[in-house]
Structure 1
Amino acid sequence: MKKIFTLVFATLMAGNMMAQMHGALSFAGASTANVLTVDVENASDTVRFEMVSTSAGNITIPQIVKDDFVIPSFTIENVAFAMGTNHVITMDDQTFASKVIVDGKEKNITGSSLTGTYNMADNSLTLKAVFTYGSMPFDMSYDIKAYYIKPVASPITVNVGGAFEYANEGVTYNVRKYMEDDVQKLDVQIPTYTLDNTVMGNLTLGTYTVKGLTYDEEKGGFYRDYKNDGLTFHFTAENEGKKTLDGDYSFNDTKDNNILVKYNGNKVEDIINTFQMGAMPFAIVTKFNSQATGITSVKSDKKNDGRIYNLNGQVVDEYYKGVVIVNGKKYIKK
């Protein structure tokens, strides 16, 4: 029976991985690059991981900058990994090589060590690479723990001032779920999108990122009031080919500026963003058209919210060992 279970699990794992091999996955998190006694820290770096088979993938390291010294982004091809238990794949220690072009000249990247894990249960990627760049006489190490950035695409409806409603047929938010100090959080990147033929003309609302949403039991989703976060975004209004507004605007810290992200299992069901910019006299509320996600019902069971629970129903982080429940299913974390 145990052998059959193991075979079924391995088959499902392989199928899950193969389903993700349609493009590179992006993971964002805090990173540290180190050479000798110098640390280069980045609070939000983005690593890309593209599976090319069920046993190998390509990893792209982002650009590393320290003052005037720059190591360009580079891709490590055919990184070997093995599927393990508990939805974890492991990249055992291995060497690697890559090349970049700088000012028309080729520079070698020689890696003496690469290790990492990809945990599909909590969508986290850990990675450590040790390498030399060009004629650099010393090894540099690059460490990151990052979480999957999930693109969420849907038509949205936009209500302006409670009286006027408009729509955009295709908007993609990037959502990152991660653990920080034993608390599960979300970062949400609101993209640039347009609204045509409004009472103010054709509008373009620029991108910005709201960080640190936490789960609110009463609201039934991950929530943040961001009016005091110091965020800005670019806004333009155009009438008959002439721009009447074109600039960077902040959010009115005396009005409602908040975002709520609701899940159905591990799928984003809705994103409701309420905001009011500068001295604008009315609020704007954007909502997903949830039917476009293929979800027709809402489950209120908090055990199906994508978080990790122990057998006592308590929320735990990804480092918890033992039997856990994720979206109503039991797993063993070792």
Structure 2
Amino acid sequence: MMTMKDVAEKAGVSISTVSLVLNNHDAGRVKPQIAAKVRQMAEELGYKPNPMARSLRTSRTGILGFVSEQIQGIPYTSKALQGAQDATSRYGYIILLVDTDGSARQVEQTSTLQRYGVDGFLYSKPSSQVTEVPEELVHSPLVLISTNTVDNRFPIVEPNEFAIGYDATKRLIDSGAKKIAYIGNAKPTITQATRLEGYRRAFKEAGRTFDDRLVVNVGNNDPALEMVSRLFDEQHPDAFFCYDDSRTWYVYECAARRGLTIGKDLSVIGVGNLDFIVDTFTPKLTTIAIPEYEMGYWAACKLISLIEKRSLGPHPFPDELSNLPAIDAASPAKVHCRLIENESVISK
């Protein structure tokens, strides 16, 4: 097993310098080029920190708890978990998962994690409703992922929902669309209201008048299809921004029944970038991706900075995630969502 002494000899520096660098305490204390050399040598030698030794030295276990509801059935949350795992691995931590239904079982499972001595928690609830943080979590370092709470005690990272509505609508305006409908969610959620606000702002900035006759909030199945069908016949939109990818199906179906072709006669943009929808529809759906991986990565980095009571340095994120807000950004930290161009928007 490689030790810090081996890394120090290979890099030509002292063991204390290696310790500072590999414990991420080098900022302002070790020259950047030397720190980079130490990390390179550690990687080449396959150096792995001893978690037991670190635990004794720091009174931390290097274990984080990830508490979520029904994670396996929700692709967004599973991507957040992957992002968190990648971040924790980078900083020498591991994650233990609690997949719960929100019942008393959650209390039991979370208490078990606390007995293992977890250093802090990530909490994600698949809901756009305001929720209370479980009492058993509030006394530990805690970061929330896309979870709206009744207070502002804990850092939150979430998608920029306003920008989702704004960007989708502006894209349709720029495509030349004249009558842009919004197919929203019948449930009065925070997400629904904020995306609608972005939709309205795009109209205002383009010098257009908002027309509430082009807004239809739907649920599921036949009633939703009937409402979208009525919108087609009464208002004759030439473009649609849909609350999520699932609701774009009603637009595709109504267009097909009328002999209209998406991408040629009508434009459609969804939200979610769900593979089983985007890759199934013809033409392929243009959509906005929810950055769950990025939010999980950010949340884990934020949690580690709280646990260790330090900054993670000027570059805590990989280059491909450079659009993330700073670790010390005001809460809620909002992550911009990327528009994925496919084939469902008419080209000028």
Both proteins in one fold, TM over 0.5 = no
Q: Which structure would you say has the larger RCO, counting Cα contacts within 8 Å and 6 or more residues apart?
A: 2
Relative to its length, the structure with more helix (as a share) is 2
Task: Please identify which structure carries the higher strand content.
Answer: 1
TM-score (norm: length of structure 2):
0.24
